[in-house]
Amino acid sequence: MLSRVAENLYWTARYMERAEDLARLVNVHSNLILDLPRSVELGWEPLIAITGAEKAFAGLFEEMDERNVTRFLIADKRYPGSILSALFMARENLRSTRDLVPREGWEQVNDLYLHARQELKGGIAKRKRYDFLRGVIQRCQQLTGLLSGTMSHDEAYEFIRIGRNLERADMTTRILDVRSEDLLPRRAEDLTPFENIQWMSVLKSLTAYQMYRRNVRVRVRGADVLRYLLQDPNLPRALHHCMSQVEASLHALPRNDAPLRAVTRMKRQVQEADVPRLAETGLHEFIDDIQVDLGQIHGEISNTYFLLDRAA
């Protein structure tokens, strides 16, 4: 497989996952603000912090209010990380490699971009925002299921899996880092009903609330949520699971030594982490290290598989 083709498939998956994650993040945050009493101050700043786009936002808007933040994250073509921009880039990456995926996969990506562009006003307006975002989430999930069920599980599919799971891991760590800053440290007896609601929103941002209740079976508490989202081997958006999926995909590819070593090293770091202690202190530094590791894994994959044609 040409390195350019592999890279396009990898980035198509990352952009689609990014659009889905952002849609869920904005949707859950919108609902969280409605659930909390007015005495609990929760603005829209955390969403910009999670995406790491403070500088880009400040260059385009003066006030970090609901309308500006939702416009920026959903519809702003000037911000490359918006839902619309992510869907556009996914479509452009897949356009040149669409002969490698089922025809329905290309049609799904193309239709989603055209639909999102046409319905942008509804996505920003409060009244129709939920329907718009749910539509983006469902269509992205349909694509994941379609490719899993109809595409040959060959090298092309493995690059899609790697891109999707690296993007998931990145979003999970970003959400934990930003949301935990306000909610930790807390002793169990200090847990307030409102903090409980906010930890629930962290789980819902990763579609993990029901699975948490089914598998952890305890009250929603910070340290338990952290342990579940970092170390659970079965939750699709848990960091450990994402890296296991990347590891499995790399095993199916040639010349995997360097990226595989980086993934194995990071998995061990996550598995051996003392989460209760991190919940008290050191979580931010731990996630900083994980973010650096994710960047190194991407770098190893890029050097191994994407730069060959350019170097020749």
Model confidence pLDDT, tens digit, residues 141-192:
999 999 999 999 999 999 999 999 999 999 999 999 887 776 665 555 555 6
**Looking at 188-235, which runs of residues are DSSP E strands?**
none
Q: Give the pair of three-digit tokens for residue 214.
A: 């089914």
The CA-based angle 303-310-251, given to 5 degrees, is 35
In the chain, the percentage of residues whose pLDDT exceeds 90 is: 71
Q: Give the pair of three-digit tokens for residue 53.
A: 């786009």
Spacing of C-alpha 13 from chain mean position? 11
* pTM, entire model: 0.92
On the question of pLDDT at 199 being above 90, the answer is no
Q: Is residue 156 a contact partner of residue 112, using CB atoms and an 8 Å limit?
A: no
Q: Is residue 167 a contact partner of residue 297, using CB atoms and an 8 Å limit?
A: no
